[in-house]
Amino acid sequence: MLLTLTTPLTRNPAVRRAQELLLALGYDLGPYKADGAYGNATNSAVRIFQQDYGLPITGDIDDRTMNALQISIEALRPNLPSSQVQLPFPLIDLTKDGILPCHYHPERSPIPAANFRGFTLHWTACLMGASLGAWNVCNAQTGIRRDGTIMMILPQALSGPPLPAYVSHGNGLNSATEGIEIEANGEGVIGNSHTWWKEGGGPYEATDAQIAAARAYLTMRCSALRAKGVNPTWIRAHRQSSDQRQCDPGERIWREVGLWAIANLGLDDGGRDWQTGTGLPLPKAWGDRYTAAF
Ligand SMILES: [Zn+2]
C-alpha cells in the first residue's frame, strides 16, 4: 500500500484509517480531521510522525509507516478491555494494581443510581504533563490527556456500572455527575484574551484528539450505562455550578463536546438559564441557544 499526495486528492477508507490513528496519537490534522482525503495537512502530520519514529521522512504512508501507526496505538493502550477495541483512543486505568505505587483517592461510595444524572465537563486550567501522579491526585473520575488518552482516575468501567464514585470535582454537581477533566487552558471565549487564566499557562485550547476522545468516551459510557438500566441525561459545564469557574470548560469544549452530546447522545444542558448554587448560566458566546453574558 502507498498513500501519497496526488492531484486530485486520494480519497479512500485507508486514508481515513491512517488519519484516525494520527489523531489518536496526538498529531494535528488542522480543521480537516479524519476526512478520508490525503491532503497537505495529512502529509505534514505523516512527516512529523515519521520523524518522531525514526522512519524515512517521505510524507507518504507505505506499509512500514502504517505498521508503525498501528503498533504505536497498541503500545499506548495496554489496559484497554478487548471488548472495547473500537475505541480509537488509549485508556489508562489508574485504579489498577501496579500502575501507581498507591491510589490517592480512598475507597469512595458510588453515587446512588437514583441520584446519578450524567456528566460534567471541565478543563484542568493547566497542563498535567506526562506524569500519571498528577492525574492520580486530580479530583475527577475521568481525565483526557492532550494526546487523547483517557485516564480512568476512579473506578467507573466503560462497560457500565459501577456508577461513578462520589468525588468533589464540581461543587453542586458532585452528587449527581461524573466529572471529566480535559487537559486544557484556553480562552473562555475564543478571541477574548480577558477570558484566559494566564496563571495556568498557554493558552492551550483543547486538541482535536481530545475532542474526539471525549465524544467517543461519552458515547461508550452512555450506551454502556443505558444497557444496564441507568439513563444518563445531563451534560453540564462546571461554570453552571460555580462563579469561580466561569471559563470552565471553555467555548471550544462546550461547543464541540457539550453541544455535540446534546445533539447526538440525548443529553441536556438543563435549559437556557440552568445553574445551581453560585453557578452561572451558559453564556451567549458558547452557543446560539444561550443569552447570558459571559
Ligand atoms: Zn472544573
User: pLDDT digit string (tens) for 37-49?
Assistant: 999 999 999 998 7
Query: Ligand 1 center to residue 15 CA distance, Å?
Result: 36
Q: Does residue 1 sit within a domain?
A: no
- Distance from the CA of 182 to the center of ligand 1, in angstroms? 9
Give the model's confidence band at 82: pLDDT under 50 very low, under 70 low, under 90 confident, else very high: very low
Q: What is the pLDDT of residue 271?
A: 97
Instruction: Kindly state whether residue 7 falls inside one of the protein's structural domains.
Output: no
User: Is 291 inside any structural domain?
Assistant: no
Alpha-carbon Rg of the chain, whole angstroms? 19
The reply to whether 189 and 254 lie within a common domain is yes
At residue 83 the predicted structure's pLDDT band, cuts being 50, 70 and 90, is very low
Co-location of 136 and 269 in the same domain = yes
Domain check: are 71 and 94 in the same one?
Answer: no
- Kindly state whether residues 209 and 254 are assigned to the same domain: yes
CA of 25 to the centre of ligand 1 (A): 25
Domain presence at residue 154? yes
Angstrom CA distances, 73 to 20, 86, 208, 216, 237, stand at 10, 12, 16, 16, 30
Pick the last residue of a domain from 55, 76, 97. Answer: 76
Q: Distance from the CA of 142 to the center of ligand 1, in angstroms? A: 12
Tell which wins on pLDDT, 155 or 20. Answer: 20
CA–centroid distance, residue 181 to ligand 1 (Å): 7
Do 39 and 161 belong together in one domain?
A: no
Determine how β-strand 150-152 pairs with β-strand 91-93: parallel
- Tell me, what CATH number does 66's domain have? 1.10.101.10
Ligand 1 centroid – CA 121 distance (Å):
7
By the CB criterion, residues less than 5 angstroms from ion ligand 1 are 122, 238, 248
Q: pTM of this prediction?
A: 0.72
Between 224 and 135, whose confidence is greater?
A: 135
Distance from chain centroid for Cα 204: 14
Give yes or no: residues 100 and 216 share one domain.
yes
Which of 25, 49, 76 marks a domain boundary? 76
**How far, in Å, is the centroid of ligand 1 from the Cα of 186?**
13
Ligand 1 geometric centre to CA of 245 (Å): 6
Average model confidence (pLDDT) across the chain: 87
- For residue range 208-255, what is the model confidence (pLDDT) as tens digits? 889 989 998 898 888 888 888 899 999 999 999 999 999 999 999 999
| 182 and 99 in a common domain | yes
Count of structural domains, the chain: 2
Centre of ligand 1 from the C-alpha of residue 275, in Å = 14
CA 223 to CA 152: how far, in whole Å? 18
Report whether 212 contacts 260 (CB < 8 A): no
- DSSP annotation of 206 reads P
CATH number at residue 103: 3.40.80.10
Residue 288 alpha carbon to ligand 1 centre in Å: 23
Q: State whether 118 and 183 are in the same domain.
A: yes
19 and 107 co-located in one domain: no
What pLDDT does 84 receive? 41
User: In sequence order, which residues have a C-beta less than 8 Å from that of residue 154 and are 6 or more positions away?
Assistant: 95, 105, 108, 141, 142, 164, 165, 167
53 shares a domain with 165: no
CA–centroid distance, 128 to ligand 1, in Å, is 14
Residue 123 Cα to ligand 1 midpoint, Å, equals 6
Contact of 220 with 150, CB cutoff 8 Å: no
Domain extent for 198: 89-286
Dist. CA 85–CA 80, nearest whole Å:
7
199 CA from centroid of ligand 1 (Å):
15
State the pLDDT confidence band at 120, using cuts at 50, 70 and 90: very high
